[in-house]
A and B are shown apart, each in its own frame.
Chain A
Amino acid sequence: MNKATVTHQSGKSMKDVSAALVEVCSVRLGETWFGVPITHILEIVGAARPQPVPLAPGYVGGLVHYRGDVLTTVSLRQLLSLSPKIGAQDILVLESAGGCFGLLVDSVGEVLTLSASDHEPNPSILDQRRKALFAGAYKLKDRLLVMLDPERLDPLLLSQAS
Chain B
Amino acid sequence: MDELTREFLIESQEGLDRMERCLTDLETRPKDAALLGEIFRSVHTIKGTTGFLGFKRLEKLAHAGENLLGLLRDGKLVADRPLITGLLQLLDGLRSILKSIETEASEGDGEDTRLIEELGALQAPAHAHQPARAHAGSHSASIAAPVAPPESTVPSAPPGPAVVAAPAPPVNAAPAAEPEASSARPQSSPAPAAGTAAESTLRVDIILLNRMMNLVGELVLTRNQVLQATATDPNMTLLSRRLDMVTADLRESVMKARMQPVSNIFSKIPRIVRDLSQSLGRRVRLQVEGQDTELDKSQLEAIKDPLTHAVRNSLDHGIEPPAERQAAGKDPEGTLKLRASHEGGHVIIEVSDDGAGIAVEKVRQKAIERGLITADRAAQLGERELLQLIFLPGFSTAAQVTNVSGRGVGMDVVRTNVEKIGGKVEIDSRTGKGTTLRLRIPLTLAIIPALIVRSVNQSFALPQGSLSELVHIPPELAANAIEWIEGAPLHRLRGKLLPLVFLDRLLMPAEEHRPTTERDNFIAVLDADGRRFGLVVDGLADPEEIVVKPLSAVLKNIGLYSGATVLGNADLALILDPGAIAMKAGVTMSARDESSDVEEELDANARGMDFLLVEVGGRRAAVPLADVLRIEQLPASRIEYIGYRPVLNFEGQLMPVEDSGGVLTAAEADPDAKIIVVVCREGSRHVGIAVSHVLDVASGADLFEAGTSQRTGGVTLLKDRVTGVVDLGGVAALPVAETSTGQWNQIAETLA
Contact = CB atoms under 8 A, between A and B. Distances in A.
A35 interface: no
**Which of B214, B551, B572, B573 is most buried by chain A, counting CB atoms within 10 A of its CB?**
B572
A72 B572 contact: no
Interface string B537-578: 000000000000111111101101101111000111110000
Nearest to B460: A54
B549 A55 contact: no
B571 A51 contact: yes
Contact of A101 (B214, B218, B552, B564): B552
Contacts of B572: 51, 63-65, 70
A69 B221 CA distance: 12
Interface string A60-99: 1001110011111000000000000000000000000011
A55 B564 contact: no
**Which of A51, A53, A99 is most buried by chain B, counting CB atoms within 10 A of its CB?**
A53
B507 interface: yes
A56 B558 contact: yes
Contacts of A99: 552
Nearest to A74: B554
A100 B214 CA distance: 17
Nearest to B561: A53
B665 interface: no
A135 B274 CA distance: 64
B564 A70 contact: yes
A56 B560 CA distance: 10
Interface in B500-536: 507-508
B306 interface: no
Contacts of A55: 507, 558, 560
A46 interface: no
B554 A60 contact: yes
Nearest to A100: B552
B217 interface: yes
A60 B564 CA distance: 15
A156 interface: yes
A57 interface: yes
A155 B507 contact: no
Given A51-B572, A54-B508, A70-B572, A156 B458 contact: no
A9 interface: no
B507 A54 contact: yes
A159 B557 contact: yes
B552 A56 contact: no
A70 B554 CA distance: 13
Given A56-B558, A70-B564, A156 B553 contact: yes
Contacts of A63: 555, 564, 572, 574
Given A51-B571, A53-B574, A54-B507, A72 B214 contact: no
A69 B218 CA distance: 9
Given A56-B555, A60-B554, A64-B572, A51 B458 contact: yes
A155 B571 contact: no
B285 to A, nearest CB: 50
B501 to A, nearest CB: 14
B225 to A, nearest CB: 11
A57 B554 contact: yes
Contacts of B561: 53
B217 A72 contact: no
Contacts of A155: 552-554
B375 interface: no
B143 interface: no
Interface residues of B, number: 28
Interface residues of B, dominant DSSP: mixed
A30 to B, nearest CB: 25
Interface in A27-71: 51-57, 60, 63-65, 68-71
Given A51-B572, A55-B560, A64-B572, A72 B552 contact: yes
A40 to B, nearest CB: 17
B250 interface: no
Nearest to B566: A65
Contacts of B565: 70
Contact of A53 (B214, B553, B558): B558
Nearest to B564: A70
Contacts of A68: 214-215, 217-218, 549
B551 A54 contact: no
Nearest to B456: A54
A52 B458 contact: yes
A99 B556 CA distance: 15
A155 B550 CA distance: 15
A105 B549 CA distance: 25
Contacts of B564: 63, 70
**Which of A65, A101, A155 is most buried by chain B, counting CB atoms within 10 A of its CB?**
A65
A41 B475 CA distance: 50
**Which of B552, B561, B573 is most buried by chain A, counting CB atoms within 10 A of its CB?**
B552
Contacts of A159: 553-554, 557
Contacts of B551: 70, 72
Contacts of B555: 53, 56, 60, 63, 72
Nearest to B557: A159
A23 B574 CA distance: 37
Nearest to A62: B572
Nearest to B503: A54
Interface in A114-153: none
Nearest to B554: A155
B446 to A, nearest CB: 12
A156 B554 contact: yes
A63 B508 CA distance: 17
A7 to B, nearest CB: 25
A89 to B, nearest CB: 15
B710 to A, nearest CB: 55
Contacts of A69: 549
A70 B553 CA distance: 12
Contacts of A70: 549-551, 563-566, 572
B560 A156 contact: no
A1 B570 CA distance: 23
Nearest to A51: B572
Contacts of B557: 159
B554 A56 contact: yes
Nearest to A72: B552
Contacts of B573: 51
Contacts of B560: 55
A72 B556 CA distance: 11
Interface string A95-112: 000110100000000000
Nearest to A160: B554
Contacts of A98: 552-553
Contacts of B214: 68
A72 B507 CA distance: 18
A68 B660 CA distance: 53
Contacts of A65: 566, 570, 572
A79 to B, nearest CB: 14
Interface in B22-41: none
A159 B557 CA distance: 10
Contact of A72 (B458, B554, B563): B554
A99 B550 CA distance: 12
5 contacts: A51-B458, A65-B566, A70-B549, A70-B564, A72-B552
Given A63-B564, A72-B554, 4 more contacts: A54-B456, A155-B553, A155-B554, A159-B553
Interface of A: 51-57, 60, 63-65, 68-72, 98-99, 101, 155-156, 158-159
Q: Across chains A and B, which 5 residue pairs bring their CB atoms closest together, nearest first?
A: A54-B507, A51-B572, A72-B552, A70-B564, A70-B549
